[in-house]
Structure 1
Amino acid sequence: MKISLIATAAAALLATAAQAEPVTYKIEPTHTYATFEIMHFGTSTNRGRFDKKEGTVVLDKAAKTGKVDVTIDMSSIDSGYDAFNKHLMSAEIFDAAKYPTAQFVGDKFTFNGDKVTQIDGQLTLHGQTHPVTLKALNFNCYMNPMVKREVCGGDFEANLMRSQFGVDYGLNWGFPDNVRVVIQVEGVKQ
């Protein structure tokens, strides 16, 4: 009798866990940044980040699925140098007046246990959409003591060929086509 009671309780617990609902996390803008790095004539690295972004992540840890939808304001670029910011926003590079936002929508999450290790999706940048894979450098969920809610996030990276998106300024001068993108992201459970 005792064994069947334990088996029934275990089955009920497993059934409840298997029916876990997807959870929505709102991107927390003060802990989320999209940055890029590109070599400058093989001597140093130019860096910039986008300060305005918004989006959501839907995560179902039990089903090992998820969806992310993040939009970046291209005019919020900050390289640390105003003249370079203006050049980056100009028609020669990002053309922020014509293409004011970039958007990443990922719907294929890869997990290792409870940790997200990769997100595959589509990046729309400079009016063009192409597949992009974000690889997790780390990922964690925790109970935030300040907001009293679960927060999930991590650091992700991808390498893009910028010419694929129509951003080809300086290629004929030797600027590289490859750009490293690093995403720092945290989302608060809603």
Structure 2
Amino acid sequence: MRKSLTLLAAAAVLSTAGIAQGADYAIDPTHTFATFEIGHFGASVNRARFDKKEGTISFDKAAKTGKADISIDITSVNSGTAAFDKHLQSPDIFNAAKFPKARFVSEKFVFNGDKVSEVVGQLTLLDKTMPVTLKANQFNCYESPMLKREVCGGDFEATIDRTAFGVNYGVDWGFPKSVRLVMQIEAVKQ
């Protein structure tokens, strides 16, 4: 009896050895973008993106778990207008000289079936950290025909209150406190 239990236990360990486990992914900077949108006097919407970003994702589809650590270089803000970029980097808004990086860290991925539906985490901006949930508009993993590796990614968005991070510029003039964040993220399996 003891021998059969030992054999059964050994068989169970060996049978789980082939089951897919989580993997690490590196952010693909050519397919990853962090952008923001904020209303401008109710007439239009100002938009800009950050051109430099890096990070890692740990993802286990079978266990439905994941982690993310994404850094954004605030000095790379790009609105398409040099004067506006300079103002965005100034102490009025992002204070890029003092706080050159923003960071999003998550230890909780929420799934709807096999797809990631939300990434719950903490955003650090201007040395203040607040909870932020990125909602997935779409998510997919695929075998890249060019890279010959798995790539996972999605289109995510969240709305934050910028004043919670100390970005108060223009509130007295009627600029909204709400800012829409849009994250297009693709990461390559390592």
Partner of 1:92: 92
Report the CA distance shift for 1:22/1:48 in structure 2 as closer, same or farther (over 3 A): same
Q: Percent identical across equivalent pairs?
A: 64
Structure 1 residues 73-152: aligned runs within 5 Å: 73-152=73-152
8 Å contact from structure 1 (residues 18, 63) kept in 2? no
Which deviates more from structure 2 when the two are superposed, residues 48-57 or residues 17-26? 17-26
Q: Is the 8 A contact 1:48 1:78 kept in 2?
A: yes
In the alignment, structure 2 segments of 5+ residues that lack a partner are 1-10
| CA distances 1:111-145 after superposition (whole Å, capped 9, x unpaired) | 11221000100000011000000000000000000
Q: Distance in 1 between matches of 2:35 and 2:102?
A: 13
Task: For residue 18 of structure 1, report the CA deviation from its aligned partner.
Answer: 9.2
Post-superposition offset of 1:80: 0.6
1:171 partner letter: V
User: Structure 2: which amino acid aligns with 1:40?
Assistant: H
Tell me the equivalent position of 2:55. 55
Residue identity matched to 2:70? V
**Alpha-carbon contact 1:160-1:181 (below 8 Å) kept:** yes
Aligned to 1:7: none
Give the corresponding residue for 1:161. Answer: 161
State whether residues 77 and 85 of structure 1, in contact with CA within 8 Å, keep that contact through their aligned partners in structure 2: yes
Contact 1:151 1:188 in 2 (8 A): yes
After TM superposition, list the pairs within 5 Å mapping 1:35-50 onto structure 2. 35-50=35-50
Compute the displacement of 1:68 (Å).
0.2
Instruction: Give me the whole-angstrom Cα distance separating, in 1, the residues matched to 2:133 and 2:119.
Output: 6
Counterpart Cα distance in 1 of 2:18 and 2:87: 51
> 3-state SS of the aligned residue for 1:88?
helix
Secondary structure of the residue aligned to 2:30 is: helix
Q: Which runs of 5+ in 1 are unaligned?
A: 1-10
Cα RMSD over matched residues? 1.5
* Residue 17 to residue 42, structure 1, CA distance change in 2 (3 Å): farther
Secondary structure of the 1:31 match is coil
Structure 1 equivalent of residue 27 of structure 2: 27
Q: Which amino acid aligns with 1:86?
A: K
Alpha-carbon offset, residue 155 of structure 1 = 0.1
Cα shift at 1:19: 4.8
Q: 1:112 to 1:91 in 2, by over 3 A?
A: same
Equivalent residue, structure 1, for 2:188: 188
CA distance in structure 2 between the aligned counterparts of 1:86 and 1:22, rounded to whole angstroms: 41
How far did residue 16 of structure 1 move? 3.4
Give the Cα–Cα distance (whole angstroms) in 2 for the partners of residues 72 and 25 of structure 1: 17
Q: Distance in 1 between matches of 2:162 and 2:20?
A: 39
Amino acid of the residue matched to residue 44 of structure 1?
S
TM-score (structure 1 length as normaliser): 0.91
Amino acid at match of 1:150: E
